[in-house]
Structure 1
């Protein structure tokens, strides 16, 4: 079944069930809380349906389902509420910094040294990556960001498209480091203070597009890729 239509229908059913429960139990603070939560979740689901991103309505559905389970069990909703994925419905896309890498050492960064730590995995060591902000592109707002699976190895990635005004700058940046030895031919992709990738380049990238695959290829899951795309996309 198409993910863009299945989740809003599920949200609607849960929403109607909550409304019926509130009508039967009378007016009380818990009922008002649940109605507001149900309305918010339904709005999120319908909005994301219009964006046609498969699977992004699941978190909102989980919020309604959790609230319904709490009422069914006689619990009072607490302070913690499950929220939609990061970036969804904020109305403000996160900026990206594209910085030339100056060094990458095989250990975690020490506190306050200005580097970005790439945490160790089961198969890869930790790294401390330093990048040159003065020569790089900071606070870049992208035109679009889309989560998708690679057709080559099936790993998740986020395809990003730069605005026309930034494409020539990116071409100049990548062209200036393409002939440098590793790791100085790498671009650090930094979002919200975190290193999300450091792809190496061998020539100037003139198309204004690049992929985010994580600090190591395969780092991204379907959930994190969709969340990141929502965080970056102006329409997210």
Structure 2
């Protein structure tokens, strides 16, 4: 065992030096205060020595650390107190991800939705007209917080998409929802993917999806770019 645990050497030297200073200065109030501090430091050192011998270990983390500032002769001593950190020192860095709604499609018509119809308009392209998708919120899954989302290219046609993974509870609900849609005629065998009030896709299902995963490719295949796919994945994934 080293001297720092066996003998409070530094505190003893400080104690003796401060008491000598008090005697030389005539015992004024500031000197008496410094001597009191030295006495306290020596008592703390001896107590730490006894705790170490008893196997208590380091207890400084549970105490307030006090650093004493140097003072000129005749000046009142000052102390800077460092309070221990609150909590366990870890911060919750997970952000609030954007929710997704997965809704059974009830109709799909080749025209833009009328204003106030509560449908979702899919814009026209050079090869396809605009169309209006309506969905049933009452039967769907609303405000779902996904477990994970990542952008990537489709292995089938190379277009950008976002692969979404659901949590355990939503995975069971999604399997039930897609199972109920699979036997329905088109377009009621589709589900609408709605994010922030916009339609991001309406894929059809042929059977119950039990794995808890689906892809967002946009209302039209090829709608997503690398930038839009990565941005959507970042917004959906709670870990990013």
State whether TM-score is above 0.5. yes
Q: Which runs of 5+ in 1 are unaligned?
A: 1-88
Q: Work out the CA distance in 1 between the residues paired with 2:190 and 2:213.
A: 15
Q: Work out the CA distance in 2 between the residues paired with 1:234 and 1:125.
A: 36
- SS of the residue 1:171 aligns to: helix
1:102-125 deviations in whole A, cap 9, x for unaligned?
000100011100000000011111
Deviation at 1:90, TM superposition (A): 9.2
1:31 is aligned to: none
Out of 180, 183, 186, the position equivalent to 2:184 is 180
Out of 131, 135, 144, the position equivalent to 2:135 is 131
- SS of the residue 1:228 aligns to: helix
- SS of the residue 2:234 aligns to: helix
- SS of the residue 1:174 aligns to: helix
1:198 is aligned to: 202
Q: What aligned pairs does 1:192-231 form with structure 2 within 5 A after superposition?
A: 192-231=196-235
Q: Work out the CA distance in 1 between the residues paired with 2:150 and 2:127.
A: 28
1:81-114 deviations in whole A, cap 9, x for unaligned?
xxxxxxxx99220000000000001000111000
Deviation at 1:221, TM superposition (A): 0.5
- SS of the residue 2:142 aligns to: strand
So what's the TM-score if we normalise by structure 1?
0.62
Q: Please say if residues 178 and 208 of structure 2, whose CA atoms lie closer than 8 Å, have aligned partners that are also in contact.
A: yes
- SS of the residue 1:224 aligns to: helix
Inter-CA distance 126–94: structure 2 relative to 1 (3 Å threshold): same
So what's the TM-score if we normalise by structure 2?
0.61
1:167 is aligned to: 171
1:182-204 deviations in whole A, cap 9, x for unaligned?
00000100000000000000100
Q: Work out the CA distance in 2 between the residues paired with 1:134 and 1:95.
A: 17
1:143 aligns with 2:147: yes
Q: Work out the CA distance in 2 between the residues paired with 1:155 and 1:170.
A: 25
- SS of the residue 2:170 aligns to: helix
Deviation at 1:152, TM superposition (A): 1.3
- SS of the residue 1:196 aligns to: strand
Q: What aligned pairs does 1:1-236 form with structure 2 within 5 A after superposition?
A: 91-236=95-240
Q: Work out the CA distance in 2 between the residues paired with 1:175 and 1:104.
A: 20
The structure with the greater share of residues assigned to helix is 1
Q: Which consecutive aligned stretches of 4+ in structure 1 deviate over 3 angstroms post-superposition?
A: none
